[in-house]
A and B are shown apart, each in its own frame.
Chain A
Amino acid sequence: MNLALKDIRHGLFRFVLTCFGLGLLMTVVLAMIGIYNGLVADALAIVKAPAADVWVVEAGTQGPFAEASSIPPDTRDAVARMPGVAAAGAITYQTLEASHAGRTLRVYAIGYELGRPGGPEQIAEGRGIATSHFELVADRKTGLLVGDTLRLGRDRYSVVGLVEDATNTGGDPAVYVTLADALSIQTKLDPAAARVQAARGAEPVKRPTVAAVIARMEPGADVGLLVATVRQWKHLGALTEAEQEELLLVSVVDKARRQIGLFLGILLTVSAVVIALIIYTMTMEKLKQIATLKLIGAPDRTIIGLIVQQALILGGSGWAIGLALILTVKDNFPRRVELEPFNAIVLAGIVFAVCLASSGLGVRAAMKVDPATALGG
């Protein structure tokens, strides 16, 4: 006879409500894990997207993601001529705000050279950019549809394709435009500003620069040699793909990781305290029944089983409800929530351990109960 299940069935509504409350707490824990994963995935996705072997950036900077980097566009020609380089492309990144469907849309504009590295690798819907000007490919999270138009800078662009999971570390969705258009957005002044510049005798347009030049190497080519050569030029710096990813994780994601990690630690502690309190309270409510069980001859393992099984059922149900809830709502979060099966399994392990430890308090109280308390009124 399973006393734990019988007791749960006796107070089913209350138990389900408790499980649901715990489930909501687990939802928050899983959401935090998912947000952290999403943060890392977003950060790395933008680095991995161009499939570059080497990033050539402004000397003395750790650009273009961790720091601003600004180099002349013709740097691409010099890099492309280097031995072992299969393809090179100049690339720009800038955060812009545009108005769309009555709301302000914040986008991460990536300018790349058509036919060269830096553009979107996979188009989820529509097509890639085919003309030199006024076309863009947007991430789905922008809410833009193929055929929509969007004003960036002083020009209007047509959405010709959509991609997925292209966002910057801040979670802003990306839009891809040609390098020419990106430089135009970057440099073209509005008429009033241009007139002022002209009156001052200055050039009416700003000098265009790119954020980086990315290079793809031929199979078997020495990446280290290219990096060392570029660094010798003094006015340029170079980072390998692995260095770029490491840099991004350390400088950009690390603080967020620590912040979320701390928050996660607090949440898990709160969950542990809540589970312990629930189990302790459930046990305290049953002290007279436990005394009766002891008096009629129930061994300790029956009483411990009653408490521990209820604790594990509570924790397991809370975990399952939390998992089901987060999987249902995760796509409604403004930031990407990425959950791996590994995360859910690790949390299950933590919940299991917390339930076991928490039930220790209840078991301790139960073991202290004197069977004689069952006698009398």
Chain B
Amino acid sequence: MALGDILIEVTGVAKHFGEGPTRVDALREVDLTVRAGEVIALLGPSGSGKTTLLNVIGCILAPSAGRVVLDGEPVFDGKWLRRDLRRLRLDKIGFIFQAHNLLPFLTAEENVAVVLDLAGWPPDKGRARARELLEYLEVGHRAPAKPALLSGGEAQRVAIARALANRPRIILADEPTAALDSKRAGLVMDLLRKLATEQEACIVTVTHDEKIFDRFDRLIHLRDGRLADA
């Protein structure tokens, strides 16, 4: 597979919590580069720094040191270089959660369209894009249903549609297959790979699910806040 532009470039990133005897180093001198079309997994035991790294790439958590460049734009270099981090996330990053985290008061279609609404799309175009994505993910028939009425697999596909709605080039997934059986998990990962290729996006996944390890281009192991191997 031909790899494209560098979408994530993390250089010398460190993150510690607390000071003195209570100091915990969650990340130490982490360097990571992810290119368009790549699907990678962050692996490691609990407390190894996987989620912290995901939060740093997602601009949710400020590193203590280092540099982060997303889609060619430097966003952190000792400090945040942009004030509107939420807008940055809206434009560049899509999130897929372990528990899908759909808004319970919106229908499946509205859950997807809300991202486009926040991004300033006209309502009719936003709805059309949401329907298009749901159809593509084979849950178009569930568009008017509220999340409580969706099966686990349907809800996760709606969540993927939401993550992709604004055509982000970086998709961060936190245990996206944890709530799915092995067959569904495989299907979801195949779908993500297909989308990554088609949209020239990269996908960074935190997972413990060994059944899907063969779906990734790279497995990145973290131990005590350091990259063990890549």
Interface contact A375-B55, CB-CB below 8 Å = yes
| A302 to B87 CA separation, bound complex (whole angstroms) | 13
Q: A375-B51, A376-B98 are in contact. Are A299 and B104 (CB under 8 A)?
A: no
Q: Say how far B146's CB is from chain A's closest CB, in angstroms.
A: 7
**Chain A residues in 8 Å Cβ range of B95:** 295-296, 374-375
Interface contact A375-B174, CB-CB below 8 Å = yes
Question: How many residues of chain A get a CB closer than 8 Å to chain B's CBs?
Answer: 25
In this complex, which of A9, A293, A297, A374 has the most chain B Cβ atoms within 10 angstroms of its Cβ?
A297
Interface contact A297-B89, CB-CB below 8 Å = yes
Interface contact A374-B118, CB-CB below 8 Å = no
| A6 to B146 CA separation, bound complex (whole angstroms) | 11
Tell me if A371 counts as interface (CB < 8 A to partner B): yes
Within B4-41, the residues touching A (CB, 8 Å) are: none
Tell me if B77 counts as interface (CB < 8 A to partner A): no
Within A1-27, the residues touching B (CB, 8 Å) are: 1, 3, 6-7, 9-11
| A228 to B174 CA separation, bound complex (whole angstroms) | 92
Interface contact A1-B123, CB-CB below 8 Å = yes
Interface contact B105-A10, CB-CB below 8 Å = yes
Interface contact A372-B105, CB-CB below 8 Å = no
Q: Say how far B162's CB is from chain A's closest CB, in angstroms.
A: 7
Per-residue interface assignment for chain B, residues 84 to 121, with 1 indicating a CB less than 8 Å from any chain A CB and 0 otherwise: 00110111000101110101111000100111011100
Interface contact A1-B110, CB-CB below 8 Å = yes
Q: A1-B110, A1-B123 are in contact. Are A372 and B117 (CB under 8 A)?
A: no
Q: Say how far A331's CB is from chain B's closest CB, in angstroms.
A: 41
In this complex, which of B55, B101, B178 has the most chain A Cβ atoms within 10 angstroms of its Cβ?
B101
**Chain B residues in 8 Å Cβ range of A296:** 89-90, 95, 114-115, 118, 162
Within A54-106, the residues touching B (CB, 8 Å) are: none
**Chain B residues in 8 Å Cβ range of A370:** 60
Instruction: Please give me the residue from chain A that is nearest to B101 by CB atom.
Output: A292
Interface contact A289-B86, CB-CB below 8 Å = no
Tell me if B224 counts as interface (CB < 8 A to partner A): no
**Chain A residues in 8 Å Cβ range of B178:** 377
Q: A1-B123, A295-B95 are in contact. Are A372 and B86 (CB under 8 A)?
A: no
In this complex, which of B60, B61, B104, B115 has the most chain A Cβ atoms within 10 angstroms of its Cβ?
B60
Tell me if A216 counts as interface (CB < 8 A to partner B): no
Q: A1-B110, A376-B174 are in contact. Are A297 and B115 (CB under 8 A)?
A: yes
Instruction: Please give me the residue from chain A that is nearest to B179 by CB atom.
Output: A377
Interface contact A297-B119, CB-CB below 8 Å = yes
Q: Say how far B222's CB is from chain A's closest CB, in angstroms.
A: 16
Interface contact B55-A374, CB-CB below 8 Å = no
Per-residue interface assignment for chain A, residues 280 to 313, with 1 indicating a CB less than 8 Å from any chain B CB and 0 otherwise: 0000000011001111111100100000000000
| A295 to B58 CA separation, bound complex (whole angstroms) | 9
Per-residue interface assignment for chain A, residues 338 to 371, with 1 indicating a CB less than 8 Å from any chain B CB and 0 otherwise: 0000000000000000000000000000000011
| A298 to B113 CA separation, bound complex (whole angstroms) | 13
Q: Which of B51, B114, B115 contacts A376 (CB 8 A)?
A: B51
Within B60-95, the residues touching A (CB, 8 Å) are: 60-61, 86-87, 89-91, 95
| A336 to B148 CA separation, bound complex (whole angstroms) | 52
Tell me if B132 counts as interface (CB < 8 A to partner A): no
Q: Say how far B84's CB is from chain A's closest CB, in angstroms.
A: 8
Q: A7-B105, A10-B105 are in contact. Are A298 and B118 (CB under 8 A)?
A: yes
Q: Which of B55, B91, B98 contacts A377 (CB 8 A)?
A: B98
A–B Cβ pairs within 8 angstroms, 6 of them: A10-B104, A289-B103, A289-B104, A292-B97, A299-B86, A377-B178
Residues of B near any A CB (own CB < 8 A): 51, 54-55, 58, 60-61, 86-87, 89-91, 95, 97-99, 101, 103-106, 110, 113-115, 117-119, 123, 146, 162, 174-175, 178
Residues of A near any B CB (own CB < 8 A): 1, 3, 6-7, 9-11, 288-289, 292-299, 302, 370-372, 374-377
Q: Beyond the given A298-B86, A374-B97, could you list 7 further A-B residue pairs with CB under 8 A, ordered by the A residue number?
A: A3-B106, A288-B101, A296-B90, A296-B115, A297-B87, A297-B115, A376-B97
